[in-house]
Structures are given as structure tokens and as C-alpha cells.
Chains A and B, each alone.
Chain A
Amino acid sequence: MTDHAAASPPGTLAAAWLVARKDLAIEFRTRTAFLSALVFALLGVTIFYFAWDATAVAAADLAPGVLWVIFTFAGLLGLQRSFGSELADRAVDGLLGAPIAREAIYLGKALANLVFVAGILAVTIPAVVLFYNLPLGAGIGALAGIAALAAVGLVAVGTLFSAMAVNTRMAELLLPMLSLPFFVPVVMAAAQSSARLMAGRPVAEAWPWLRILVAFDIVFVTACTLAFPFTLDE
């Protein structure tokens, strides 16, 4: 990492980017967490296929539900490791000692988580298209857009709760328990809008759901950024 003798500390966004790069560099050195989450997602997609009677329900109808459930749980796996690396040897103190805004730490971590989740989705969505025989078309672009919006919401809330959960006795249980209620509007909006778009319905039908998704993202990215400093012990 370059170490300029900077006259002034980095601004919030620049600092966030540095924090994100650090986290992603650590993550991709081993890639264990990412590959595990990826395998989990792919296995989940296939298991869900067999959980339903394929003659009673068309695979294409199942697909949106499966996609967003898997998205949720794979996302949680990614979020679990978000603050875990800071716990060892109190590495978080290094972050806190740096002359950057506390919000930058949160935004950086969230950004790293977003990249992580986006990576998972980049493989999972094509897998769902493949295994569930979804018609390829203009819908894919819209699906990617919805996935991006949903990922932002998931990561915003999940990163904050990950920061809290890591300091508790039952982190792995606490993170899903805190986060899942917050994922409900995201999953609902993503599933409803993507189902309509994949079925070839006009965009106007998906629009109310997309509005909820965007509103959720705006409200919770703001709220979680503002709340994050309160989760730090200083």
C-alpha cells in the first residue's frame, strides 16, 4: 500500500475506498470465504429445484423466489466475515487510529461487502437462468439492475449489524436474527419486480416495487452510516 506523507488526511469517500481496497485485498488473498459462499449459493439453487414438484410448478415460476432466498443467505455468509478480520489482535484499533471519519470505515466495509455480494450474484444469476430455463432477453439487464439495488440494501443493513454482532457471544446467530427482518422489504420488492420483468410484463408494473427498493436503499444507507459511529467503543 503506497504511503505518501500526505499533507491532509483523505476525505471520507477516498478513505472509504482505501478501507474497501484493504478488505478486498485481504479477501482475495485467500478467497476462501468467497468460494465457500459461491458453492453454497450454487448448491442451494440446485437443492431448491428438487424441493418442488417440477410438474406442478414451472421452473421459470420458481426462479425469482429461489434467486432471492439464495441471495439472502449467501449474502449473510459474506457479511459474517466482514468484521471478523478486525477482531484478531484488535486490528480494529489500527483502523480507529487512522485520521479518517468513522463513517468512512462503515462505507468502506459496506463497499467491500457489496463487491463480495455482487461477485456471488454474477455467478448465481446465470446459474438460475441455466438451471431453471429462464428465457434470456432484455429482462437480464433489468434483473442485474434489481440485483444491484437489492444488494445495496442488504449490504447497508448487514454491514452495520455485522459490526455489532462481532462483539457478542453469539455472532453467527445474532447476525441473521438482526438482519433478516430488515431484508424482508428488500427481498419482497426484488422478487416481485424481477418476477414481473422476467415474465415479460411491462416495466410500469414493476415500478412500485422498484420505488420501495430505492427508498429502502436511500433511507437505510443514510441511517446506517449515521448509526455506525455509535457501534464503536470510543
Chain B
Amino acid sequence: MTPDNTSFAYAAYTLAAIIYLAYALSLRIRARRLRERALALEASARPRSDRAEGA
């Protein structure tokens, strides 16, 4: 007698998808914020690029 637990299967699959997608999204957002900071730094560096900058 096969139990009818399809809803459990769908619940688990949905939950897993949410967790993975949320993580991928968080990576995207964090990367974007870092990119903005990096570009800002690069832009402010340009006027001073003729000055020797320490390593």
C-alpha cells in the first residue's frame, strides 16, 4: 500500500530550491556591493596614479 506523501516531496524540493537560490542570490548581492566599492576605489586612485603608491 503505497503511501500518498507527494506533498512532502514537493515541500522538500521547494525548500531546497529556496535555500540554494537564496544563497546564490546573497553571493550576487555581496559581490555587487564589493564591485561598487572596488570601482569607487579605482576611480579615486586615477588622479593620483602618477604618484608612487606603496605596495
Complex contact flag A–B (Cβ < 8 Å): no
